[in-house]
Amino acid sequence: MDINEQLAGEFKIRREQVDNTVKLIDDGNTIPFIARYRKEATGALDDQLLRELDERLTYLRNLEQRKKEVAESIEATGNMTDEISQSLQKAVTLAEIEDIYRPFKPKRKTRASVAKEKGLQPLADFIMEQSLANPQKEAEKYIDEEKGVASIQEAIQGASDIIAETISDDPDIRKLLAQLYTERGVVVSKAADAEKDSVYSNYYDYSEAVAKIPSHRVLAMDRGEREELLKIFVEVSEEEALRFINGKYVRAKNDCGNIVKAAAEDAYGRLIHPSLERRIRSELTEKSCNSAIKVFQDNLYQLLMQPPVKNAVTIGFDPAYRTGCKTAVVDGTGKVLDTTVVYPTPPQNKVTEAKAVMKKLIKKYNVTAIAIGNGTASHESECFIADLIKEIKDELDHPISYMVVSEAGASVYSASKLAAEEFPQYDVSLRSAVSIARRLQDPLAELVKIDPKAIGVGQYQHDMPKNQLSEALGGVLENCVNSVGVDVNTASCSLLSYVAGINGTVAKNIVAYREENGAFKERRELLKVAKLGKKAFEQCAGFLRVHDGKNPLDNTAVHPESYCYVEKMIELFDLNLNDLRKNGFGGMGEAAKSRGIKALANELGVGEMTLADIVEELEKPGRDPRDELPPPLLRTDVMDINSLKPGMELKGTVRNVIDFGAFVDIGVHQDGLVHISQIADRYIKHPLDAVKVGDIVNVKVIDVDPVKKRISLTMKGLN
């Protein structure tokens, strides 16, 4: 297989793009670096496509390696033929290769292997010829007490076992039947105990075509089976399956043909069906996991790229009942200014005292935003904060508002070694309040400290293959961090470790160098950091920012390797470097555009796409892509689920997107569900085609069930 040609066809891109990308990957370049700084080579392939190509490249290389191993193994047995060799070369999945290898693969003891040990292979071959000869008479020759063949019946049974295994090992039959199962199979779910009520009651007597069953239902059934509440099967027409087998193996209507036919039925029921059922279910689960991980990736990306609430002094409010609400005041840079605990919730209900403390903190530190965790006692806390804002707003010379923030993973972070190192002076609960405040201020910088699986977006994340999920979500984190850029003088180890080319050890070394030598003055100073060599510097430099450093370009996404082109432009346009340092590079960008990017690129000897990126960055140095998104929806009042009525129109924030809809926060503590059928006026294949986590949307209430805490919403005709 020409792997690069295969990739070009699959991804519908030019062979040259694939060749260049594969070489860059093999040379140890990171995906963010390739996506941003090697656009000429890749033809401007984006981060996501590059990751998918890298993943597929690994699969195809493993496929070729397995083909080689299987070919060598078959050759060693002396059974290799041109037909088998060609079949191996044509195989496009690992499953196909294993089916080809199956007849030659060393097996543990089977009924067929026992029969072969008894010398019954020739009898099996005789029966398979299906001549008019009498099989019983032929079987008499194989009766041998010493070999354990006591009768004609035992001899024929042993031969039948050999025939059944031969049929089962036939790769062509398996390929045909696998196609039958995929196209016409049905997934059937039954209750393990029909009398026992559970969340899986919808699946107690359920069936759906293998070809049509959606991912979330597969994952729900899998979980129900693991919890021993469901029994799952894959069914297909046995008559149709046997028609495939008999069509190839049963060639005569005589005694031998009847034995082969019976062996075919045994092969299907005992060997083929259980094997294919496992394979189909495994493929469905794998496909569903891939789909769920993709949804998780999209949701996580949107969550991490939420616009920060910049320069806002923020109170983080971690709700609780008995132990009180932990409170932390954090300045616009994330520095903790004050902490306390108030008790406005049951059983203490010290509302008046809590308001007095909160008013004092708000006035003392000019607080403009309050972030409330969405955990236990969140609704009571939201009512308390909304009431407090009403009372204090006329006493302030600045507006103040609040937002309910997901605290998923906050407790995990608070109890972590990282949090202990960051806030050794605070106990676990106060660290959680700080984290909640910072999540509102800069979701990306705070959420990178938490295992992505604990962030709480997506569906069935705890059922996903751990390594696959971690790798996929790690890629999202890496993409987000490098898209935004990182201040090398303030970033935490967690944030730095997601910068291209920097691992956990180097991230710690950067922080250690910073603490020992003071702030970095320029990017090239990074080369003095232990274990950060030239290759790592090449990968990370463009994504790290140095504010107020020696070179103003160090605070942009322009890579140091391209500084020479900026210097040539300064000379070409007869500009003053000191003026540029003082007033910014905006004028330079305008001059470049008026000259014409293509003509200027030829003049400078640089790629057109690279120059376009440089010019865009010079016009908006240090641009944060999150600033271009709508700001988060902050509130000043609160509603209750009991106050909702069908027909009410509200504004809300999309909190999670799943296969069958989206959950929207409308300010009543309980998120409402917009079913996929209610998201858009047009047909959509998946909710992600229309909404993303963090979107501010208009919704209308369809139905409310306060007892079950269910809210049904629609977005049709409103957005």
pLDDT digits (tens, 9 = 90+) for 587-604: 787 788 888 999 999 999
- pLDDT on residue 577: 67
Structure-block tokens of residue 258? 């009847």
3-class secondary-structure state, position 652: strand
How far is the C-alpha of 510 from the C-alpha of 540, rounded, in Å?
12
The answer to whether residues 520 and 489 touch, using CB atoms and an 8 Å cutoff, is: yes
3-class secondary-structure state, position 157: helix
Residue pointed to by tokens 């597969």: 218
Phi, psi for 596 (deg, rounded to 5)? 100, 120
- pLDDT on residue 279: 95
The answer to whether residues 158 and 149 touch, using CB atoms and an 8 Å cutoff, is: yes
Of 44, 48, 157, which is closest to residue 111 (Cα–Cα)?
157
For residue 312, pLDDT over 70 is answered with yes
Compute and round to an integer the Cα radius of gyration of the chain: 33
How far is the C-alpha of 631 from the C-alpha of 60, rounded, in Å?
43
Q: Which domains does the chain have, with CATH numbers?
A: 3-88 (1.10.10.650), 314-450 (3.30.420.140), 513-628 (1.10.150.310), 641-714 (2.40.50.140)
How far is the C-alpha of 310 from the C-alpha of 333, rounded, in Å?
8
Q: What is the dihedral of CA 198, 202, 206, 208, to 10 degrees?
A: -130
Poorest-confidence range of 210-219, 278-287, 439-448? 439-448
What DSSP element (H or E) covers 190? strand 186-191
Identify the bridge partners of residue 191 per DSSP, sorted by sequence position.
230
pLDDT band, residue 635 (cuts 50/70/90): low
Residues 28-82 pLDDT 10s:
999 999 999 999 999 999 999 999 999 999 999 999 999 999 999 999 989 999 9
The answer to whether residues 403 and 306 touch, using CB atoms and an 8 Å cutoff, is: no
Phi-psi region of 311 (alpha: psi -120 to 50; beta: other; left: phi over 0): left
Vertex 367: Cα angle to 363 and 372 (nearest 5): 125
How far is the C-alpha of 359 from the C-alpha of 464, rounded, in Å?
46
Structure-block tokens of residue 184? 């016409």
Question: Which parts of 250-331 fold into alpha helices (H)?
Answer: 255-266, 273-304
Residues 85-141 pLDDT 10s:
999 999 999 989 999 999 998 888 999 999 999 999 999 999 999 998 899 999 999
For residue 360, pLDDT over 90 is answered with yes
pTM > 0.85: yes or no: no
3-class secondary-structure state, position 167: helix
How far is the C-alpha of 176 from the C-alpha of 450, rounded, in Å?
47
Of 445, 407, 451, 411, which is closest to residue 431 (Cα–Cα)?
411
How far is the C-alpha of 504 from the C-alpha of 482, rounded, in Å?
16
What DSSP element (H or E) covers 375? none
For residue 586, pLDDT over 70 is answered with no
For residue 582, pLDDT over 80 is answered with no
